[in-house]
């Protein structure tokens, strides 16, 4: 894997070029907005844009130079455009609605510690959908689960 130091805008343009030419993209995730499903340092495998479903994690443009991988919480279709409400799994608030045209690709898999987690596999797809349904409470659910796992509850 190559370590490229490029700006956000350049990364967005490069990602769009790679995915629009029907190639897959791999890169290292940065940040904790998608915890627990995607962690800081995980390797993401992005496939070119295909049908987007509620619960999918997508790579998309947000604004002029921001590219991020967040989950589709809601889909609204009208006669002009399809709008997607996106949100980081660990965040309390959504990022707002984006246009379907702003989707670059879909996160197909996460690589962590030598393991590959296929997000399209039935258990992970179900977990993502359940996370969306529990979205108003997901932050609390995650904190309680982490507390129990690490036995640090007060």
pTM of the model: 0.82
Could you tell me how far CA 91 lies from the centroid of its own chain? 12
SS3 at position 72: strand
Q: Where are the chain's structural domains?
A: 8-150
* Whether residue 19 has pLDDT greater than 90: yes
Per the listing, tokens 């947000």 go with 62
- Matching CATH number, 8-150, of 1.20.1250.20, 2.10.109.10, 3.50.40.10, 3.30.2270.10: 2.10.109.10
- C-alpha pair distances (Å), 115 with each of 30, 44, 78, 80, 111: 18, 12, 40, 41, 6
- The confidence score (pLDDT) of residue 148 equals 60
| Span 77-119, pLDDT tens digits | 988 889 999 999 888 889 999 999 999 999 999 999 999 999 9
Could you give the percent of the chain with pLDDT greater than 70?
A: 84
Closest CA to 18 of 40, 49, 64: 49
> Model confidence at 146, in pLDDT bands (50, 70, 90)?
low
DSSP assigned state of 42: P
Structure tokens at 40: 């800081």
């Amino acid at each position: 894997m190559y370590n490229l130091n490029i700006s956000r805008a350049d990364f967005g343009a490069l990602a769009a070029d790679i995915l629009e030419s029907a190639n897959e993209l791999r890169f290292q995730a940065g940040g904790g907005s998608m915890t627990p499903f995607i962690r800081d340092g995980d390797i993401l495998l992005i496939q070119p844009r295909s049908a987007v479903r509620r619960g999918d994690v997508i790579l998309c443009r947000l604004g002029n130079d921001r590219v991020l991988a967040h989950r589709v919480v809601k889909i609204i279709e009208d006669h002009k455009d399809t709008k997607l409400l996106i949100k980081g799994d660990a965040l309390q608030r959504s990022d707002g609605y984006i246009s379907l045209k702003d989707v670059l690709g879909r996160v197909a898999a996460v690589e962590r510690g030598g393991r590959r987690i296929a997000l399209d596999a039935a258990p992970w797809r179900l977990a993502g959908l359940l996370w969306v349904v529990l979205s108003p409470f997901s932050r609390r659910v995650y904190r309680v689960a982490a507390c129990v796992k690490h036995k640090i509850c007060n």
